[in-house]
Amino acid sequence: MNLSKLAQTIDAAALNAEPIKQLSFKNKFTEKEAYQIQALSLKHRYERGEKLIGLKMGFTSKAKMEQMGVHDLIWGRLTDAMLYENGDRLKLKKFIHPRAEPELCFWIKKDIDKKLTLKEAPGYVEAVAPAIEIIDSRYRNFKFSLEDVIADNCSSAAFVMGNWYRPSFDITDLKIELHINKKIVHEGSSKAILGNPWRSFVDATRLAIKYKEPIKKGMYIMLGAATPAEYIKKGNKITAKVEGMDDVMIKAS
Ligand code: OOG
Ligand code: MG
């Protein structure tokens, strides 16, 4: 099987916002190969001038695993082309069937070259912010196997952060809500993220070492959604509300 060809197919689907059949329908590949496809597909983005600016964790909550019918934690890469400013407009034409989910994001203070413990972790974090992730599976009907979604860079499409807070801000059990046009559509607690969102970060440091994609100073780490994701439509005002933090918002146009 030609992993480069699969990487090209998934990259083109993202670039052209054209959905494709699940890669696994015709090709059997392992989780390890799925991560190779992801890495190869990112090379196409870098060739177009995009820069790696962070990593994202996925399926760190039961709510997300159940919604998508998968059973394990995944990680993907974030580039500067996916980054939006709080309050920005998101041009829906660039996406296939985007969904929004409320998250927390860390901003990294120094290079990390080992798997951190829960105790060490705060020493490597500059700040934490409420965030919205826009996911957009390149697969038809937003359906995939675990290997498919990994190859598809874990549906990464866009992300936006709100105001930054000190890493000492207690994020272990905060109410998190997703609002669309001022109506609440999902709610949960940050505790839903592996029992403590800091664990998601510790796992990110482990995976970064395992897959040789080191976490560097200045990178962003998205910790995964605490609630299911919601489809978004033109005109939607999407807001994530995290208890004790200012709102973060993006408009779909
Ligand atoms: C995969 C991405 C999962 C999360 O926060 O759990 C994710 C998907 O649901 O399409 O980003
Ligand atoms: Mg997410």
Q: Which of 101, 132, 178 to mutate to test the pocket of ligand 1 (most atoms within 8 A of CB)?
A: 101
What confidence tier does 182 reach under pLDDT thresholds 50, 70, 90? confident
Give Cα separations from 205 to 18, 30, 78, 97, 154 (angstroms): 33, 22, 15, 30, 17
How many CB atoms within 10 Å of residue 73?
17
Q: Is the Cβ–Cβ distance between 201 and 106 less than 8 Å?
A: yes
Tokens standing for residue 173: 């059990």
Q: Read off the pLDDT of residues 134-144 as tens digits, 9 standing for 90 and up.
A: 999 999 999 99
Contact 108, 217 (CB under 8 A): yes
Establish whether residue 63 lines the binding site of ligand 1, counting it when its CB lies within 6 angstroms of any ligand atom.
no
* Ligand 1, atom 8, residue with closest C-alpha: 155
The 10s digit of each residue's pLDDT in 46-77 is: 999 999 999 999 999 989 989 998 888 999 99
176 within ligand 1 shell (Cβ under 6 A): no
**Taking 90 as the threshold, does the pLDDT of residue 119 lie above it?**
yes
Per-residue model confidence as pLDDT tens digits over 91-111: 999 999 999 999 999 999 999
pLDDT of residue 80: 98
135 lines ligand 1 (CB under 6 A): yes
In the prediction, which pLDDT does 135 show? Answer: 98
- Mean pLDDT score across all residues of the chain: 97
Q: How confident is the model at residue 1 (pLDDT cuts 50, 70, 90)?
A: confident
Distance 144 CA to ligand 1 centre (A): 11
| CB of 27 closer than 6 angstroms to any ligand 1 atom | no
Distances from the Cα of 95 to the Cαs of 43, 49, 99, 156, in angstroms? Answer: 20, 19, 10, 11
Q: Ligand 1: which atom is nearest the Cα of residue 103? A: 5
User: Among 154, 200, 231, which is best to mutate for testing ligand 1, by the most ligand atoms less than 8 A from CB?
Assistant: 154
**24-35 burial, b if ≥16 CB within 10 A, otherwise e?**
beebebeeebbb
10 Å CB burial of residue 228 (0-12, 13-18, 19+) is: middle
Instruction: For the chain, list the domains and their CATH numbers.
Output: 3-252 (3.90.850.10)
The pLDDT value given to residue 30: 96
Q: What is the pLDDT of residue 33?
A: 98
Q: Which of 15, 55, 7 is nearest to 33 (CA)?
A: 7
pLDDT in tens, 80-92: 999 999 999 999 9
**pLDDT score of 114 more than 90:** yes
Spacing, Cα 224 to ligand 2 middle (Å): 4
Instruction: Quote the ligand 2 centre to 110 CA distance (angstroms).
Output: 23
| Distance in angstroms (rounded) separating the CA atoms of residues 20 and 170 | 42
pLDDT greater than 80 at residue 24:
yes
Distance 205 CA to ligand 2 centre (A): 17
The predicted pLDDT at position 72 comes to 87
